[in-house]
Amino acid sequence: MIKLKIRSKGDAVVMLQELLNEFGYSLKADGIFGMATDLAVRDFQRDNRLVADGIVYTKTWVKILNRSSVDFISLDKKYLQEDDIVQLARELGLEPAIVKAVNEVESSGRGFTVDGNPKILFEGHVFWNELVKRGISPKPLVKGNEDILYQKWTTKHYRYGKAEYDRLNKAINLIGNNVDVTEAAYAAASWGLFQIMGYHFKSLGYQEIVEFVGANQINEGEHLRMFGKFIKVNGLVKYLKAKDWKGFAYRYNGSAYEKNKYDVKLKKAYEKYASIDKRAE
């Protein structure tokens, strides 16, 4: 089991925060083990007669998992499998090590929250643009909806985890039962393991956005296949075949790829998996 404590970061922290919220805490599932998470952990430990040291390791994990109402068996069935990686690699003409590297660096860690719904992140500036595309003026609708409707990108309204569905549902119900608004809301969220924006649904082969949303409910294997379609239709496969990590990272992550060292991370991850695969031959 992974040991977590204050200043830990990553998807394991996200899962911890999601699970603690199942017990009534109100943590932002942002993957950062800060003071709020530390206080919640200590409170949980005291309530469960554990040493309240704020360190989440074997005993605390066992208590959390045993007391949780999460259906881990159903959740486990949604997770990515080795066969999914191998199949996509074969379809794209890539080494499995390349697909594994991209999965490690570019995925969100898990494609589903602990309640079994696909991970989403709602983008209010995209919602604004999607409403305009459908002939709906956003400006008269802003008051009281500032957390879901704004013109410029910002992270300040992100709530992460399950709480993002509160923002999505608020957007869907912006002006009552309106199909255009619902579709605009779905299009304004990024979905699943690779956080692909909903407005890409047509280029990925879906006739309606509800089909795209439904496919995201299936499993992470489906998320990976969506990602494969995405890099194929956007001409990115050739950069992976050539192991042009900079070329791929720039086109997939944008100009910030250098700051975040995505190309370096991809190269390092590929070398690790290629070495493992070679030893397994």
pLDDT digits (tens, 9 = 90+) for 237-280: 999 999 999 999 999 999 889 999 999 999 999 999 999 977 87
Question: What are the pLDDT digits (tens) for 138-158?
Answer: 999 999 999 999 999 999 999
Share of the chain above pLDDT 90, in %: 96
Kindly list the distances between the CA atom of residue 32 and the CA atoms of 160, 193, 243, in Å, as whole numbers in the listed order.
11, 19, 32
Q: In this predicted structure, what is the pLDDT of residue 139?
A: 97
Say how far apart CA 159 and CA 224 lie, in whole Å: 25
The pLDDT tens digits of the residues spanning 63-98 come to 999 999 999 999 999 999 999 999 999 999 999 999
pLDDT for the residue numbered 279: 81
Beta-bridged to residue 185, according to DSSP, are: none
- Residue 17 has what pLDDT? 97
Phi and psi dihedrals of 69, rounded to 5?
Answer: -95, 5
Which numeric CATH code is attached to 11-69?
1.10.101.10
Residue 108 has pLDDT above 90, yes or no: no
pLDDT attached to residue 39? 98
Position 220 scores a pLDDT of 97
> Terminal CA-to-CA distance of the chain, rounded, Å?
29
- H or E segment at 212? helix 209-216
Q: Pull the structure tokens for residue 26.
A: 């109100």
pLDDT digits (tens, 9 = 90+) for 165-186: 999 999 999 998 899 999 999 9
For a pLDDT cut of 70, what percent of the chain falls above it?
100
pLDDT band at 37 (very low <50, low <70, confident <90, very high): very high
User: Distance between CA 202 and CA 108 in Å, rounded?
Assistant: 23
Instruction: Specify the pLDDT at position 156.
Output: 96
Please tell me the distance from the alpha carbon of residue 123 to that of residue 157, in angstroms, as a whole number: 9
Across the range 97-126, mean pLDDT stands at 95
H or E stretch including 249?
Answer: helix 245-253
Model pLDDT, residue 280: 72
Q: What mean pLDDT, rounded, does the chain reach?
A: 96
Quick one: pLDDT at residue 1? 80
The residue type found at 279 is R
pLDDT given for residue 256 in this prediction: 87
pLDDT given at position 264: 97
What is the DSSP pairing of strand 189-191 with strand 120-122? antiparallel
DSSP secondary-structure letter at 117? P
